[in-house]
Amino acid sequence: MAFYLGFNSTLGHIPLLLIAAVGVAVNEEILFRGILLRAILPFGKAVAIIVPSLLFGTAHLGNIFVGGDVTYALFQFGWTSFAGMALTAMVLANKSLLPAILFHFVLDAVEYGTTGAYGVHSTEYSLKWLSIFLLLNLAFLLYSLIILKKSKNQQINHTVTPL
């Protein structure tokens, strides 16, 4: 349909990729960091950070079964799991899905912009760039865990009453 409407130039697909990034970010955050997080949170924060994030990563492995490049899908499992943990920590620290939706959009926009596509990636990509994206998501996770710890410390400091 996009090509029918004239989005067939070299850069014409960019608005469509951005629209896809918004839609994916909103829907996945509501499901994984909204519904699943609330369901699993009674089991503890660590479980609530890890379980939905691994399910999030596993959901992306399905791309292998519909023609996706296996190496890309395995790396995508890794970075979506790390990103899922980071986004979950962000939701817990901020008590809001909005920052997670924004960061998810940025992550997807970068992925879609660098690959030129969204969804199933059937083309092989450089291991160097796949590794860089994996490491960037790991750094994002570490940063988010630091923010979560700081927010927890701030909550404790605000609830302590002086003697």
Tokens representing 38? 């609330």
User: pLDDT for 76-123, tens place per residue?
Assistant: 999 999 999 999 999 999 999 999 999 999 988 888 777 777 766 767
Closest to 25 in 3D by CA, of 101, 115, 137: 101
Non-local (6+) Cβ contacts of 104 within 8 A are: 24, 25, 28, 29, 83, 87
User: pLDDT for 40-52, tens place per residue?
Assistant: 999 999 999 999 9
Q: Where are the alpha helices (DSSP H) in 14-97?
A: 14-28, 37-40, 45-61, 70-94
- Check whether 23 has a pLDDT greater than 90: yes
- What pLDDT does residue 160 have? 45
